[in-house]
Amino acid sequence: MEWRAGNRSVGEKLFDVFNYILLTVITLCTLYPLIYVLFASLSNPTRYMQHSGILWKPLDITFNAYRLVFDNPMIIQGYLNTFLIVSGGLAINIILTAFGAYALSRKGLRYRKQLMLFIVFTMFFSGGLIPLYFTVKGLELTNTLWSLIIPQAISAFNLIIMRTAFEAVPDSLEESAKIDGANEFVILFRIMIPLCMPVIAVMLLYYGVSHWNSWFQAMIYLQDRSLYPLQLVLRELLLLNDASSMASGASGGEVAVIGETLKHATIIVATVPILLVYPFLQKYFVKGALIGAIKG
Amino acid sequence: MAKIPPPTRTSIPSKPSNSAGLNPRNWGLLKDISKNRFLYIMLIPVLLYFAVFHYFPMYGASIAFKEFSPRLGIIGSPWAGWEHFESFFNGIYFWRVVKNTLLISFYELLFGFPAPIILALLLNEVRKAAFKRTVQTITYMPHFISLVVVCGIIKEFTMSDGLINDILAFLGWERVSLLLESEYFRTLFVTSGIWQNIGWGTIIYLAALAGIDQEQYEAAKIDGANRWRQMLNVTLPGIMPTIIILFILEIGRLMNVGSEKVILLYNPSIYDTADVISSYVYRVGLQEFNYSFSSAVGLFNSAINFTLVIGSNWLSRRMNKTSLW
């Protein structure tokens, strides 16, 4: 870019130096907690327990903790459940959001405005946690994975984003498709969605991350532990100090020691997938955040 | 708005008819349905979803005015009037949860809100694209980490033998279990929130910054403005509309302090600073089974929140000529 060192005063140079240092510090502060967890997960548990202060490197590298994580049936089952929730949830999310967004983006539709208001209103007012709980319970969805999918089938916010994208597609494309005998389903799946792929990608990202990270619904709707998604298993392990149930194979006093590094290994195992996909999605989520911002 | 009348409607006289089925308006709707039947088929599941999972619970919130028993159901339970609201307003926890909700929101506005603006301004001064991109990529990252993991890390680091205490001890402070002392909860909540969301928050501001007309900088330079003056007189006014919109939206969310994070982090020893309205609703309702009382608290929160959203939208429209609807 325009890097004209000659033109700059001492003050500006000083500012630049300060700015680079400050930004580096902020970046390191953001990154270090994760690095610390990574190092801790690779450390020998006993040495880690004795250690205090900043970790600069793993202490006696060992992959034992990871072996325990992958031997643990709760975590494996949690992964599996999360996988089912994310994949099933995404399919329903995308189809229903696209249906609503497409229908409401058609200018010929009667009561379009009223229907839109019907949906937008839910963003600002809700009946609250308890009535929703009874609704889900009344539909007998509790204690099934459906309780984590169906009640979150559509986000009004995402529907608005998608509708904006569909509205931007020129009407002439739709008209010529209609002349060729296409019905609305064909137009939606063969024209609209392929043309709006970047927005679909944003939707996949938003819905996917929210399914992957959700635990609260699972906590209130699920009793059966074999249905627990990964995040709920993590909560027991990380926040309720229930390491004993996790370190299967270890006995008595070992549990506390192994539990320490096991926690860290689990954090890494649970976080890596999302951190792996996110650099690839970065261009999309910037776009998504911006579309979202325009619409409030 | 401009509704296009169906082309074949002209023959129907506009005289109002007593029978609803023959009303011309309904005729039009029927025609519309048959013309756009596929659109209506698409809409059915969507509207059904909102009716069942959003509007039915709004109706279900009437249990706040009832003596709800799960056996009798929402409709069958006897009415209780304003009893639950009164016992909430007069209860010992009313001020505590309202105060905590407002205080945490206030600190988030005070510290959490400007943080991404400052980071965006600093990033904007960076001219090495690779450095800028690296900083951005890393600071976005925590936004994608699940709340459970973030809270797990917070808990781990704040234990009396955790990393933060190790550092504090090294500097000569005493070790304290930060999550067991109520005085530190708000600080931890807000700081960890900044850690998680600062990078994400910059996206919008960086876009607004990129939209500022470069000629303004040229003009400012000719006028002899240094970079500090340029920032004050060009950059900041340039992103002001964005700042105001986001600030007003933030006010609209005042009562919605992240209940999930509070529930993950708090424990009885710090309820006096950590318990917010939404965590109270969860605890009283789903853990202590006071369904009606809890719904009353929840409804109170929803009502205030709704008022704030409407109010802030009105304000936004007046100040910016921009609004949500």
DSSP assignment of B80-117, as one string? -TTHHHHHHHHSTTHHHHHHHHHHHHHHIIIIITHHHH
CA pair distance A262, A255, nearest whole angstrom: 10
pLDDT for position B130? 94
Distance from CA of A251 to the nearest CA of B (A): 23
Contact status of B52 with chain A (Cβ, < 8 Å): yes
| Cβ contact B149–A270 (<8 Å) | yes
CA pair distance A9, B185, nearest whole angstrom: 44
pLDDT for position A60? 82
Compute the CA torsion angle B245, B251, B253, B256 (nearest 10 deg): 160
Burial string for B15-38 (b: 16+ CB within 10 Å, else e) reads: eeeeeeeeeeeeebeebbeeebeb
pLDDT for position B95? 94
SS3 label, residue A143 = coil
Tokens representing residue A118 in the block:
């019907």
In the predicted model, residues of chain B with pLDDT beneath 50 are: 1-21
CA pair distance A23, A26, nearest whole angstrom: 5
pLDDT for position B30? 77
B198 CB neighbours in chain A (<8 A) are 26, 30
DSSP code, position A168 = T
CA pair distance B304, B276, nearest whole angstrom: 14
The DSSP-derived string for B41-72 is: HHHHHHHHHHIIIIIHHHHHGGGGGB---TTT
Number of Cα atoms under 13 Å in the Cβ half of residue A165:
29
pLDDT for position B111? 95
Tokens representing residue A177 in the block:
């498709």
Return the amino acid letter for B69: S
pLDDT for position A242? 59
Nearest CA in chain B to A229: B148
DSSP code, position B270 = G
Those residues with Cβ within 8 angstroms of residue B45's Cβ, 6 or more apart along the chain or in another chain: A96, A99
Nearest-by-Cβ selection for A290 from B28, B204, B282: B204
Those residues with Cβ within 8 angstroms of residue A237's Cβ, 6 or more apart along the chain or in another chain: A243, A246, A262, A263, A266, B152
Closest CA to B58 of A55, A128, A147, A20: A128
Tokens representing residue B299 in the block:
């409804």
Q: What share of chain B is helix, strand, coil (3-state, %, to 5)?
A: 75, 0, 25
Question: How deeply is A103 buried, as exposed, middle or buried, from its count of CB atoms within 10 A (0-12, 13-18, 19+)?
Answer: buried
pLDDT for position A45? 82
In the predicted model, residues of chain A with pLDDT beneath 50 are: 1-5, 295-296
Contact status of B93 with chain A (Cβ, < 8 Å): no
Which of A104, A107, A130 is the best residue to mutate to test the B interface, defined by the most B CB atoms within 10 Å of its own CB? A130
A102 CB neighbours in chain B (<8 A) are 39, 42
Bridge partners (DSSP) listed for residue B66 = B79
CA pair distance B49, B54, nearest whole angstrom: 8
Closest CA to A55 of A236, A266, A239, A260: A260
Number of Cα atoms under 13 Å in the Cβ half of residue B248:
23
Nearest-by-Cβ selection for A119 from B50, B70, B195: B50
DSSP code, position A9 = -
CB A128 within 8 A of CB B57: yes
Question: Tokens 């690095």 belong to which residue?
Answer: A35
Q: How many CB atoms lie within 10 A of CB A67?
A: 12
SS3 label, residue B79 = strand
Question: Tokens 């991109």 belong to which residue?
Answer: B133
B residues 104..163 contacting A (CB < 8 A):
119, 122-123, 125-127, 129, 131, 134-135, 137-142, 144-149, 151-153, 155-157, 161, 163
Nearest-by-Cβ selection for A135 from B38, B57, B245: B57
Determine phi and psi for B15, rounding to 5 degrees. -65, 130
CA pair distance B19, A59, nearest whole angstrom: 84
pLDDT for position A2? 44
The angle that helices B291-320 and B83-90 make with each other, rounded to 10 degrees, is 80
CB B284 within 8 A of CB B227: no
pLDDT for position A38? 92
Helix (H) or strand (E) holding B33: helix B24-35
ipTM at complex level: 0.88
Bridge partners (DSSP) listed for residue B231 = none
| Cβ contact B286–A216 (<8 Å) | no
| Cβ contact B45–A2 (<8 Å) | no
pLDDT for position A201? 87
CA pair distance B41, B106, nearest whole angstrom: 46
A139 CB neighbours in chain B (<8 A) are 52
